[in-house]
Chains A and B, each alone.
Chain A
Amino acid sequence: MAEDRIPLVDMRDISVAFGGIHAVEHAYIDLYAGEVVGLVGGNGAGKSTLMKVLSGAQRRDSGEIYIDGKVATINNPRDAKIYGIETIYQTLALADNIDAASNLFLGRELTTKVGTLDDIAMEAATRKVMGRLNPHFVRFKNPVITLSGGQRQSVAIARAIHFNARILIMDEPTAALGPAESEQVRNLVKQLKKEGIGIFLISHEIHDVFDLADRITVMKTARMVGTVNKNDVDTDKVLGMIIGGSIPPGVAITHAYSEARV
């Protein structure tokens, strides 16, 4: 990525502690428009926590978030959505007892002129977006608990992309899916990237990351190992970073703000 461009997201020196335990320590990460950054690391490396800070679901103890080069105030999920940050959580974060449209618009309901819920308009919009994502989806009237894993996933994805996200966080988007559905998600990521959306992709599936990401950020035990261009590394080197916790010799660090540069 060109150094003179302003990153879409720039998180600097982020720290989060639960009690005395550091979940994220002095972490930094950035993301440009139309780019996919893969975020990898072992269990408990702090990937999800770092992303939850960006999506407003987790309070940070220190650090700053810049959106388009300006300091952003993100203290709750509402704030994040104002900045166009949408998240597909690993747990999907769906209310199981209500239908797809109600989930899609949860917290952002369409209302009629008199302020009542406009369920018909919401269902219409849901049918439109689902028609694009998952044409086989027909159970618009059923609570989402009655849907299959793939269908639930597509509801969660629909919710993230319907509101013109600029920044998309995907936490293990293919973990619960079969091969065909996973392929669908991969195609979607490529398409969204083309549309200029910046995507953070958390995944255990190293092949997915190599397939989709432009850069790869590695974390280990709450700290940053570093960010590298995908083309400079192979899976072995990335696995080495995940396990060993250091940048392999001869690989350039690509992050704008990093301890190496300070």
Chain B
Amino acid sequence: MVEAAGTAPAPAQGRQAGIIRGLLQATEVDVRLIGMLVALAVIWIGFHIASNGLFLSPRNLWNLSVQTATIAVLANGMVLIIVSRNIDLSVGSLLGFIGMVVAVVQAEFLPWLVGGHVPLVWLIAIVVGLVAGAVIGALQGVIVAFFQVPSFIVTLGGLLIWRGATFIMTTGRTVAPLDETYQWFGGGHTGTIGATASWVVGVIVCIGVVASIIMGRRQRRRFNFPLRPIWAEVFLSVVGCIAVIGAVAVINAYPMPPLLARRYAQAHHIPWPQGGLFISFGISVPVLIALATALAMTFIAKRTRFGRYVFAIGGNPEAAILAGIKTRRVIMQTFIVMGILCGVAAVIATARLNAATVGLGTNYELYTIAAAVIGGTSFSGGIGTISGAMLGALLMQSLQSGMELMGIDTPLQNVIIGIVLVVAVGIDTAYRRRTA
């Protein structure tokens, strides 16, 4: 994953490698992040060629973004858990359990309680889901942090318990359909924000990128710290904005199929011309949720005491205690955060399916952990980034969806993903050992 920039250059390539190294140094970009982007590019281009140009189509990339959202949300929380030297094997079952709770609340319990349609039932259901996630996370966290039962065991128990409880709740029945407004969160055909709003989101993100670079520079100048060269700042701003605008352009290039577009036009009183209309779906709601979650979690990890303590505990638990950190409380809180994110992911997954099934989220704990470690989170603790985990989730999903596109069977898919996981982490470990 890191061969692009990490290896010593051969003499003939020396000059070029020098430029790359200078660029990396000046922009202070994480080499491993670049490595992941390169790996992702290789996978995408590889599948694009192998699938005769299907993979890099707006339609496929749009689908890929929606499919990635659930695991991406979970991986955000898993980073903090693994960084603090713990593990959570229960996230898949917890997602299934909360999904079932949320579905039962909106489709059966509340309507039965009031004997008809409940206003804002979608909101109530979501709040119930998030609270359930927080409570269950707190419960598991307390057992891990205060009763000192290894998190592997506690959450292995959770994996069995919450899956079993999901079945018991409805004796295995699938609960459907769900509230219409609620489905918006699943990113189905109604769960998108359209082309214009997507552009607005893109522009806002661009402004945010540039503003944070300018503000960071101003702060550093105020304290007379060494500054990045101005060209590096400009380079970062331009690359960031091009990436964002490019992503929005690709997403907006995926139009609604004629039937849906016609219905949409009718609903919005747009005249239907002879050749049809190009109406974009725009960014889907789950993708927005995943991005917002990543932003929030990055903020928590980098800008709050809690985040700093999670990393300090992962780096040296003893030192964290001696520094006066209430390490047990911090560990418990990481599990609460993970539980809430399970709630978020459960809402996305059930809304997307328009149902809650007993098997929902099965094996998700494995995909989530894989996404986090492919994204550079280290099992020895103290190392990991939210952005890395997001890329890890995207990489995993790209592999899966690419292989599906090529008609590769699920068993072989699993074999390949398993190999990629081990190889990726192997390369990463070797790289880290060399640079440490």
Contacts and interface: CB of A to CB of B under 8 A. Distances in A.
A127 B223 CA distance: 10
Interface in A114-129: 115-117, 120-121, 123-124, 127
Nearest to B382: A97
Interface in B272-304: 299, 302-304
B329 to A, nearest CB: 13
Contact of B311 (A81, A91, A98): A98
Contact of A111 (B305, B316, B322): B305
Contacts of B383: 97
Nearest to B307: A117
Contacts of A124: 223, 225
Report the interface size class on chain B.
20 to 34
A102 B316 CA distance: 13
A145 interface: yes
Contacts of B223: 120-121, 123-124
A92 B397 CA distance: 43
Contacts of A93: 316, 318-319, 322-323
Given A123-B223, A124-B223, A97 B311 contact: yes
Interface string A95-107: 1111000110011
Nearest to B302: A117
B436 A106 contact: no
Contacts of A127: 225
A115 B322 CA distance: 23
Contacts of B219: 120
A95 B382 CA distance: 9
Given A77-B323, A107-B325, A145-B436, A102 B312 contact: yes
A191 interface: no
**Which of B302, B305, B311, B381 has the most C-beta atoms of chain A within 10 angstroms of its own C-beta?**
B305
A106 B303 contact: no
B314 A106 contact: no
Nearest to A78: B324
Contacts of A102: 308, 312
A87 interface: yes
B117 interface: no
A187 interface: no
A115 B312 CA distance: 19
Interface string A40-81: 000000000000000101000000000000000000111001
B218 to A, nearest CB: 10
Contact of B225 (A92, A123, A145, A146): A123
Contact of A81 (B225, B319, B324): B324
Contacts of A81: 324
Contacts of B323: 77, 93, 106-108
Nearest to A145: B436
Contact of B312 (A95, A123, A145): A95
A172 interface: no
B321 interface: yes
Contacts of A111: 305
A94 interface: yes
Interface residues of A, number: 35
Contact of A96 (B222, B315, B324): B315
A109 interface: yes
B405 interface: no
Contact of A94 (B222, B319, B325, B436): B319
Contacts of A106: 308, 312, 319-320, 323, 325
A177 to B, nearest CB: 19
Contacts of A200: none
Interface string B205-220: 0000000000000011
A97 B314 contact: yes
A89 B305 CA distance: 23
Contact of A97 (B220, B305, B315): B315
B307 to A, nearest CB: 8
Nearest to B319: A93
A77 B321 contact: yes
Contact of B308 (A57, A76, A98, A120): A98
Nearest to A56: B324
A76 B318 contact: no
A117 B312 contact: no
Nearest to B28: A141
Contact of B316 (A55, A57, A96, A123): A96
A145 B305 CA distance: 21
A76 B311 contact: no
B86 to A, nearest CB: 16
Contacts of B303: 116-117
B305 A98 contact: no
Contacts of B225: 120, 123-124, 127
Contacts of A109: 305, 308
Given A117-B304, A123-B225, A95 B322 contact: no
Contacts of A77: 321-324
Given A98-B312, A98-B382, A117-B305, 20 more contacts: A57-B321, A78-B324, A91-B318, A93-B316, A93-B319, A93-B323, A96-B315, A97-B311, A97-B312, A97-B381, A102-B308, A103-B319, A107-B323, A107-B324, A108-B324, A116-B303, A117-B303, A117-B308, A143-B315, A146-B436
- Smallest CB-CB A-B distances: 5 pairs: A97-B315, A97-B382, A95-B315, A107-B323, A78-B324
Interface of B: 28, 219-220, 222-223, 225, 299, 302-305, 308, 311-312, 314-316, 318-325, 381-383, 436
6 contacts: A77-B323, A91-B318, A94-B316, A117-B304, A124-B225, A143-B315
